[in-house]
Amino acid sequence: MKHIGTKNIETSRLLLRRFQSDDVDDMFENWANDEAVTYFLTWPPHQNKEVTRQIIQDWIQQYEKLDNYNWAIVLKDNQKVIGSIAVTEQNEKAQLAQIGYCLSRTYWHQGIMSEALNAVIDFLFNQVEFECIQARHAANNLHSGGVMKKCGMTYEGTLRHSDWNNQGVCDICYYSILRSEYIKKEVL
């Protein structure tokens, strides 16, 4: 693999870029304090902007590492930060990256997360040369699974009673796409 760190990625509607210290207001107001967004996540809604500020500062420090991939999702038309997408886990020996994401509910069901995930998959396969990209969701978060399917990921299975989120212990559904499958899809 060729680790190159978090680089800007552009799509038709989005700019995926590194988080900046002035993203605190957008992150807090657009998703980090929203119980609907964090409903299936493992972290609670932020109670104040200071929590958000500290997390963003931690993320900014992590950008020094070339194997760190964490993007702010920015709408090009208004420059608002409306979500995040990141490699949450890596297995170097298996050349596997696991992706996690969240998005302001104002922008749900508009194809924005699929657009962001497709762009990140392309970047991780073509620039970093991962061999497998994986994502997961709580079994009752069907919309997240829909995003994964839309991006060409294959449902691998459900591990019962295998993790927890803000709703308690839950079943987790796994999806993945191999680099070879992605390359075939690109050629077609």
CATH number at residue 104: 3.40.630.30
* Beta strands per DSSP E along the chain: 9-10, 14-17, 70-75, 81-91, 96-103, 132-138, 154-165, 168-178
pTM: 0.95
Q: What is the pLDDT of residues 13-43, one digit of tens each?
A: 999 999 999 999 999 999 999 999 999 999 9
Residue 92 near residue 28, CB atoms below 8 Å: no
Amino acid 124 reads L
- 79 secondary structure, DSSP code: -
With 70 as the cut, is the pLDDT of residue 188 above it? no
Domain assignment of residue 57, yes or no = yes
The number of folded domains in the chain is 1
Q: Is 98 in contact with 135 (CB distance < 8 Å)?
A: yes
Q: Domain residues for 109? A: 9-187
Please check the confidence at residue 50 and state whether its pLDDT lies above 80.
yes
pLDDT digits (tens, 9 = 90+) for 125-160: 999 999 999 999 999 999 999 999 999 999 999 999
Count CB atoms within 10 A of the CB of residue 45.
17
